[in-house]
Structure 1
Amino acid sequence: MPSVSAVPPSTPSSRDSVVAALRTAGCVFAEDEAELILATARTPAEAAAMVERRVAGLPLELVVGWAEFRGLRIAVAPGVFVPRRRTEFLVEQALEQAPERAPGARVVVDLCCGSGAVGAALAAALGPVELHAADIDPAAVRCARGNIAAVGGQVHRGDLFAALPLALRGRVDILAANVPYVPSDEIGLLPQEARDHEPLVALDGGTDGLDVLRRVAAEAPRWLAPGGCVLVETSRHQASTAVATLERHGLATRLAVSEELYAHVVIGIRP
């Protein structure tokens, strides 16, 4: 499994047959996908096997074994949530909000970490940090350990805050929680790649999509340092309820929106 690294530039390669196969299978960005497959495969046989898996419907990131996230190559594996480009906006907001600390003194937590992309990106941007990531899904934990270890972090398995070391209480400067927020009855409306290849626990947020967010909001104030922030991705129609939820737990709350990425991030700051 590849580790976190800068994404290298692609090298020119003959790709007509790969592009043709991908186009026939209905891949909209066949040229770009062909370039990634050919740049990743170590042998022609491996490239052919990758094309076969992609044509069969496996997400491209799982075919090549990695996803690009804020310029990093994040390893992904079957059964693990693939990081989305819109979640880069959450990282940007966290970096803007990060309280001033001495080098190495910041404490960062990536909750519901999946592959660990958010934590890895924060550590790469901030420099030395005390980084912890957690997820309830064993497949996600295995995958995240490779990505997080590459930036000096630790990964814990368990249900939200129960997975974290108690010594972190009251010390967390950045708590990034990319919680599941799709309402249960809307799971069937997701793209087939998500429905068929990503774990339900990483997608299903309960009746209104906010069940996990409510649990994070209730516990976050006890874990944040003074001036620390919690950031949670949500959807446009859930945003006002999500803001009110964090406010009810004593956090100074605001909503950040990126129209370009169609991203909505609720930010709560401990006074």
Structure 2
Amino acid sequence: MTVSSDPSVAIVSRLRAAGCVFAEDEAALLVSATGDAAELEAMIERRVSGEPLEYVLGWASFRGLRIAVDPGVFIPRRRTEFLVAEALRVTAPGAVVVDLCCGSGALGAAVAAEQRVSLHAADIELPSVRCAERNLAASQGAVYQGDLYDALPAELRGRIDVLLANVPYVPTEEIRLLPAEARLYEPVVTLDGGPDGLRLLERVAADATEWLAPGGHVFAEVSERQAPLAREVFVEHGLVAELAVDDELGANVVRGTYLG
């Protein structure tokens, strides 16, 4: 049995009743994902129960790319597209690019889609590594498992031109305030940035000058409140720091440059 190519009024109503703000758009995506009525019903049930749409579909949209996202892997946010845009401004052809705390590998994939680079990615979570391997296969990106720089091969030390470090930055005590989709479904390790939200960022900054090439850059996303402190962290560890803001996306990106 097949289903109509148009989302039915009943599906939209069910999604809206479950609190889905963009019920019409979500219904269209769910219907387009399958031609099997039973599978569609199972997907609707998952979404109505609160599971993130990206997990239900198996992918997320990021800078025009369809990024595979498995349950248990951090879902790339639209605001993080600004970090990629900032990184692309300084990414030359052939640059060595590392996507640290890569999750699905969305950031690295987006950079590689627009610039020819030598791409590497790393994450401490095995499900993320496996997901990133799929997303970076087209760009021949290498993916490693491990804790921050410990995951990277030694030959990258002092050679990284662009380091994308979208580390967790939600303060521990504020995780309970996140939307249920993030709080209940995404692993805490992908959200928890420690007491002030900057624990992982401080670790990245502390060793950045050992891994960056002279003139290399590290990019990190933080909250508006954290931005001044994050900038100070970069400066304290020998980086020239700048802050870029996109008010429309609500994105704050700190760039640290190693002058060598």
Name the TM-score class by shorter chain. over 0.9
Secondary structure at the aligned position of 1:256 is classed as strand
TM-score, normalised to structure 2's length? 0.96
1:270 aligns with 2:251: no
2:258 aligned partner, one-letter code: R
Q: Give the equivalent residue in structure 1 for 2:61.
A: 68
Q: Give the equivalent residue in structure 2 for 1:199.
A: 187
Task: Compare 133-142 and 37-46 and name the one that shifted more.
Answer: 37-46
Secondary structure at the aligned position of 1:155 is classed as strand
**CA positional deviation for 1:226:** 1.4
1:177 aligns with 2:165: yes
Alignment of 1:103-252 (within 5 A): 103=93, 105-126=94-115, 128-252=116-240
Q: Percent identity?
A: 60
Equivalent-residue separation in structure 1 for 2:20 and 2:157 (angstroms)? 47
Task: Compare 63-72 and 142-151 and name the one that shifted more.
Answer: 142-151
Aligned CA distance change for structure 1 residues 108 and 42 (closer, same or farther; 3 Å)? farther
2:171 aligned partner, one-letter code: P
| Segments ≥4 residues shifted beyond 3 Å | none
Equivalent-residue separation in structure 1 for 2:7 and 2:178 (angstroms)? 34
**CA positional deviation for 1:97:** 2.2
Equivalent-residue separation in structure 1 for 2:190 and 2:35 (angstroms)? 32
Secondary structure at the aligned position of 1:227 is classed as strand
Task: Compare 176-185 and 43-52 and name the one that shifted more.
Answer: 43-52
Secondary structure at the aligned position of 2:196 is classed as coil
**CA positional deviation for 1:14:** 4.1
Equivalent-residue separation in structure 2 for 1:223 and 1:236 (angstroms)? 27
Aligned CA distance change for structure 1 residues 145 and 243 (closer, same or farther; 3 Å)? same
CA contact (8 A) 2:5 2:31 kept: no
From 44, 50, 73, give the equivalent of 1:80. 73
Equivalent-residue separation in structure 2 for 1:27 and 1:205 (angstroms)? 28
Equivalent-residue separation in structure 1 for 2:45 and 2:24 (angstroms)? 16
Secondary structure at the aligned position of 2:221 is classed as strand
Count of aligned pairs between the two proteins: 256
2:210 aligned partner, one-letter code: R
Structure 2 gaps, min length 5: none
1:94 aligned partner, one-letter code: A
2:63 aligned partner, one-letter code: R
**CA positional deviation for 1:12:** 5.7
**CA positional deviation for 1:139:** 1.2
From 9, 19, 35, give the equivalent of 1:26. 19
1:90 aligns with 2:83: yes
Task: Give CA deviations for 1:156-207 in whole Å, capped at 9, x if unaligned.
Answer: 0000000001100111111000000011111100000001000111100111
Alignment of 1:38-57 (within 5 A): 38-57=31-50
2:147 aligned partner, one-letter code: D
Equivalent-residue separation in structure 2 for 1:25 and 1:189 (angstroms)? 19
Secondary structure at the aligned position of 1:80 is classed as coil
Task: Give CA deviations for 1:93-134 in whole Å, capped at 9, x if unaligned.
Answer: 001122x4xx4x2110000000100000010011x2111100
Secondary structure at the aligned position of 1:149 is classed as coil
Secondary structure at the aligned position of 1:205 is classed as coil
TM-score, normalised to structure 1's length? 0.92
